[in-house]
């Protein structure tokens, strides 16, 4: 019985408190993005990876850096460019003449929080260097398997507007991102508040960590104990199944998406201080967890159909459990 009470105490107190502290940290830098920050925290607590897709200058990199600064975790940034090689990410084995043996020089992906900046500027070969790391939390370099630190997460950014010199992420890569987020432009009052905060200092440099890697791993384990009714599990499955038989969809969401939506809904409930999931948690998360995983039919694209509209249709059609 005692083993079951510990996770519940996390959920009713410590998880929500941690999320509030991290959110307050990030909001000192990003003004008016509370909803996006909560989604980011839900992804972090459920152990998923995040793709932040927006135009330049909206705060994509700032979101990743402020999150990493709030967590006392190892942080590495990879600036993706067309000439970046897979070994620049994973690391290499080299011959140490002084020691007379081969040694491994770790690449930047071996960290707890990895920022993959402008990921779509690298070639598909280089992009694929992240596939094993994101799915299995390990690397294979020269037939040697290297375990990645725990917790491990990738926050990738990309510009959806500029196409010159970019390589679209393949479906296998997109499917490994739990959520795809967009920040959007700030409102007039928010932009004015941003200027005021940055007038004499850089708030990002003043952020102090509020949790360590070990704490985060414990909270991620606690998330699994958030209660989710069997009818809500069936609701998650039906939503994902509906993407595979929708008339406008060529390729629907994968079973990984089902698991991601399920786990992220538990995390969202905990972020909001609840030990149980509601239908609204699932409905809020569905567009962020499913849209980037859909491939539409060519006829649907010609009619200017979008994945977002497909998910809207599905949310209206699939009956919400009461």
What are the Cα distances from residue 166, in Å, to 49, 81, 118, 155? 21, 9, 9, 18
For residues 99 and 113, give the distance between their C-alpha atoms in angstroms, rounded to a whole number: 32
CATH code of 209's domain: 3.40.50.300
For residues 36 and 49, give the distance between their C-alpha atoms in angstroms, rounded to a whole number: 14
Judgement on whether residues 183 and 238 belong to the same structural domain of the protein: no
Judgement on whether residues 30 and 157 belong to the same structural domain of the protein: yes
Judgement on whether residues 18 and 167 belong to the same structural domain of the protein: yes
Are the beta carbons of 273 and 255 closer than 8 angstroms? no
Judgement on whether residues 184 and 70 belong to the same structural domain of the protein: yes
Judgement on whether residues 6 and 148 belong to the same structural domain of the protein: yes
User: Which of 201, 225, 249 is the last residue in one of the domains?
Assistant: 225
End-to-end CA, the chain: 30
Residue range of the domain that includes 233: 226-322
Contacts with 26 (C-beta within 8 Å, 6 or more apart), sequence order: 33, 37, 40, 63, 66, 67, 70
Judgement on whether residues 159 and 15 belong to the same structural domain of the protein: yes
CATH code of 321's domain: 1.10.8.80
**Does residue 86 sit in helix, strand or coil?**
helix
For residues 264 and 224, give the distance between their C-alpha atoms in angstroms, rounded to a whole number: 10
**Residue 89 confidence (pLDDT):** 93
**Residue 239 confidence (pLDDT):** 97
User: Which of 197, 225, 253 is the last residue in one of the domains?
Assistant: 225
Are the beta carbons of 181 and 39 closer than 8 angstroms? yes
Are the beta carbons of 70 and 213 closer than 8 angstroms? no
Judgement on whether residues 196 and 321 belong to the same structural domain of the protein: no
Q: Locate tokens 């260097």: which residue?
A: 129
Judgement on whether residues 160 and 254 belong to the same structural domain of the protein: no
**Residue 8 confidence (pLDDT):** 53
- Burial-class residue 196 by CB neighbours within 10 Å (0-12, 13-18, 19+): exposed
**Residue 300 confidence (pLDDT):** 92
Are the beta carbons of 149 and 111 closer than 8 angstroms? yes
**Does residue 244 sit in helix, strand or coil?**
helix
Beta strands across the sheet bearing 179-181: 75-79, 113-117, 153-158, 50-53, 179-181
Number of domains in the chain: 2
Judgement on whether residues 317 and 221 belong to the same structural domain of the protein: no
For residues 95 and 93, give the distance between their C-alpha atoms in angstroms, rounded to a whole number: 7
Are the beta carbons of 46 and 260 closer than 8 angstroms? yes
Judgement on whether residues 193 and 272 belong to the same structural domain of the protein: no
Ordered per-residue pLDDT tens for the chain, 322 residues:
334 444 455 455 788 888 899 999 898 888 888 899 999 999 999 999 999 998 888 888 888 888 888 888 888 999 999 999 999 999 888 878 877 788 888 889 999 999 999 999 999 889 988 999 999 999 888 888 889 988 899 999 998 876 666 888 889 899 999 999 998 888 898 888 888 888 887 888 888 888 877 778 888 888 888 999 999 999 999 999 999 999 999 999 999 999 999 999 999 999 998 889 999 999 999 999 999 999 999 999 999 999 999 999 999 999 998 7
Is the four-CA dihedral 76, 80, 86, 87 of positive or negative sign? negative
Judgement on whether residues 100 and 249 belong to the same structural domain of the protein: no
Structure tokens at 163: 């196409």
Judgement on whether residues 217 and 248 belong to the same structural domain of the protein: no
User: Which of 225, 253, 269 is the last residue in one of the domains?
Assistant: 225
Are the beta carbons of 98 and 237 closer than 8 angstroms? no
Nearest CA among 223, 250, 196, 239 for reference residue 14: 223
């Amino acid at each position: 019985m005692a083993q079951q009470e510990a996770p519940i105490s996390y959920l009713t107190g410590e998880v929500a408190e941690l999320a509030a502290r991290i959110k307050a940290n990030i909001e000192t830098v990003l003004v008016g993005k509370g909803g996006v920050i909560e989604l980011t925290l839900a992804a972090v607590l459920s152990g998923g990876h995040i793709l932040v897709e927006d135009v330049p200058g909206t705060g994509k990199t700032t979101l990743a850096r402020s999150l990493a600064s709030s967590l006392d975790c190892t942080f590495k940034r990879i600036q993706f460019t067309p000439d970046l090689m897979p070994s620049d990410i994973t690391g290499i084995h080299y011959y140490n003449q002084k020691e007379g043996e081969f040694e491994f020089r770790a690449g930047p992906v071996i960290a707890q929080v990895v920022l993959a900046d402008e990921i779509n500027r690298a070639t598909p070969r280089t992009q694929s260097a992240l596939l094993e790391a994101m799915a299995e939390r390990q690397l294979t370099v020269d037939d040697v398997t290297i375990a990645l630190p725990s917790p491990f997460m990738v926050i990738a950014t990309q510009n959806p507007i500029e196409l010159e010199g970019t390589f679209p992420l393949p479906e296998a890569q997109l499917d490994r991102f739990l959520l795809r987020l967009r920040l959007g432009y700030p409102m007039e009052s928010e932009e004015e508040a941003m200027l005021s905060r940055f007038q004499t200092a850089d708030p990002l440099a003043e952020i102090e960590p509020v949790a360590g890697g070990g704490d985060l791993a414990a909270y991620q384990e606690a998330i699994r104990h958030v209660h989710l009714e069997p009818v809500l599990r069936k609701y998650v499955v039906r939503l994902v199944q509906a993407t595979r038989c929708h008339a406008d969809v060529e390729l629907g969401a994968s079973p990984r998406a089902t698991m991601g939506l399920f786990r992220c809904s538990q995390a969202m409930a905990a972020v909001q201080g609840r030990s149980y999931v509601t239908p609204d948690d699932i409905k809020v998360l569905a567009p962020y967890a499913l849209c980037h995983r859909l491939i539409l039919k060519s006829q649907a694209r010609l009619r200017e159909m979008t994945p977002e509209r497909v998910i809207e249709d599905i949310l209206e059609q699939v009956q919400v459990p009461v």
